[in-house]
Structure 1
Amino acid sequence: MGLRRPAARRPALPGTDPGEEAAGASRIGNWALGLWLVLLTAVVVLLDALTGTDPPLIPLLVVVPALASVFCTVRQTIGVACWVTLVGVGSRIASTGSFWDVFFLSGFTVVACALGVVACAARIRHAREMARLRSAAVALQRQILRPLPVVTRQLRAQGIYEPIEEDRFVGGDIYEVVQSPHGTRVIIGDVQGKGLPAIGAGFAALGAFREAAFREGDLTAVADALEDAVVRHNAFSAEQGEAERFVTALLLGFDGSDEARVVNCGHLLPRLLYDGTAAKVPLRVISVPLGMADLGGEARAAESFGFPLGASLVVFTDGVTEARDATGAFYPFDEQLGRWAREEPRELLRALQADLEEFSGGVRRDDVAVLVLTRRPEGCGGLTRLPGTAVADGTA
């Protein structure tokens, strides 16, 4: 069965933003709007003629422009208002009432219809402003976290990322994959706190990682650079009267061999998927989170663990393990991961995402970040752009 080609999309006009166009678009077509308007008018006129009530029912049509202002464009709302005005004023002129009855009811109809048009224009202006702001926010937030998947010479990184605030793309969890002269460097971390207040510390750690991962040959030196960055950010935050934050993080290094290097800064242990099984990586050295080195008293150390060809490494934040159901029970992550150990990374992530949603009943208590890192055979290309990503450098 062939793939269905997506319908052609009308190109945006030069100088316009697609989000702004969508904000001002109608939710109902002109023909459908005209048909419903004629039918509604016919029903009201017929009921007015059959009941002969006083006051008449036709002036009630003034609510139609108000309804149209919620769903239609300004042009459509003006058309509805003109139609209602013609019907309302025409019916009053044809009536046998006094001049002042006709004058006041006609004036009321005109004013009500005009207010509907004004309300529609205000709604669309506000929607376009919000669309413009959201478009700028999305562009900025996409500079903080790289879209997934990412492919480097040593591995392929796929993942899911779900901030607790659904209307934003970045929360308190961070990740990054960097191709460096020393191999592929990966970080996944969890900033103390949630949502927008945690982004500052996360961005400080990410910026330091992107530079140090390329510059430093030793993974512990990368961790030290991140520590300094978080401490500096906390000092600046304290001057501004904001809370200081720490960051739990897992720093990983892959050079294409059967071993990976890791520095654990108070983060959750990764899981290794190999030969149909899922197991915790038994790390022996776990240091304090970033930003708290002065409390630890010991220098951070790196250690190695086996990462054979064909294996995948699952790294994640506590938004997964601390998800709860309606009874308060924690999500059985290791048990479920073992069920999907033989699945391809993409299918595993889909199953995990769906299972988390069902288990928690759609109630999020923390940001969720999961990366599945899969080894690639030697001789493959470097950092590349995959469908749906914005990464480009080399070939797959």
Structure 2
Amino acid sequence: MASSYLLRVAVYCCSFCTVSFAYQSTSEASTIVSRDPNNSQILPPSQDPFYSTPSGYKNAAPGSILRQRMTPGNLTAITGNCSSSYQLLYRTTDSNHQPAWAVTTLFIPHMRNDTNHASLLSYQIPYDAASIDGGPSYLMYTGGFPDIGIALGQGWVVNVPDFEGSHAAFGLGISSGYSVLDSIRAVQSLIPNVISKQPQAKTTIPSIRTALWGYSGGSIASLWALELHAGYASDLPLHGAAVGGVVTNMTSTLDEITGTFSAGLMPSVLLGITAEDPTARAELVSQLKPENASILLSALDMNYYQAAAAFNNQDVVADYFKKDLASVLAQPTIKHIIDNNGYLGYHGIPQVPLCVYKAIGDELAPVKETDHLIEDVYCQVGVDVRYERNTIGGHISENSNGIARSRQFLTSVLEGTDQGEVAPVGAGCTVVNVTIGTTTTPP
């Protein structure tokens, strides 16, 4: 890659909305300039003391807030419909079931919706990076996430966790799920205090209805959180979830992406799943061609967009590894990690109603894998799920085609109303083919 370049990404294959960003090369000093009147610079997490490991975190209970601050810069203005926003560093648990920490961003709306409870949306942005500097708590300063502002405009409190944690463990289902659950624990403990400062606040502390939302990589974290919920955080009240572009099987997805526009995901996920185990990382490095190893390892310093540009359409396996993908994934520790973190449907039963939306033509995560998870697993054990298989478009297209349906469902969960074609909460298991949307262009 050139020492400096302007990367314009018209679509983010794993994002919640179509966006365009400008980024500098990772070889340059990296700061984001906030759009505030003072033009202050926002430090990346790798340089920001707020993201340093707090003393005594191992002794804190999961979900405990260990450090907090108002978000620096002018994130509230960038986001829109926001009265205040906070960054919380909280205690969580990693994929080895050891104490860990992560950061989440909490947005408070100007006005709460007209219900007798607070509505909390935990929005899992699929940031898909092996670098802590690729997390949403930093990337959100670029703008481009209008769904946050829309949710705030409905009077919902919004939680956006950096669910890959302090090691940027992209692809580790267990730690991502734990991190989501603990972020919700953390923000639920803070919400009564911050809501009490709103103009229309009631004298009593409201109850909180909570829903999860995520597409693609965000669906991974959301569904892992729901499968782990009963065993890890049964005391945590959750009420529903909308997930789209569901990625249920890590190995199937890896098989699909090498040599494609999504090839940049492969270095990031392989580095992410080995981020919490030095033995696994050593196994991965041992499989690299020595002459090209540094190029693949450079993804450790890239956000999603940078990796997408660096590895676009490359045959990552042939270019960087000595053997085929099966050989890499068969390394003992790597195989153990994938067996434990790479497949949904084996770790618990979601306890809340689900809205699942998927393009039949999804080229990144095969629809047959989602069919199996929903029809052969969740529906067989009584999960309340509405599964819509869209005949239009592919992975990116369904991202936009499914937004209206997911919002309708989330509104019914968070506000107690039913809108549009989405089945109401409590409808049991429904699997239907739909033809919805105008976005049909493949990636």
Q: What range is the shorter-chain TM-score in?
A: under 0.3
What is the TM-score normalised by the length of structure 1?
0.26
In proportion to residue count, which structure has more helix? 1
Give the structure with higher Rg (CA).
Answer: 1
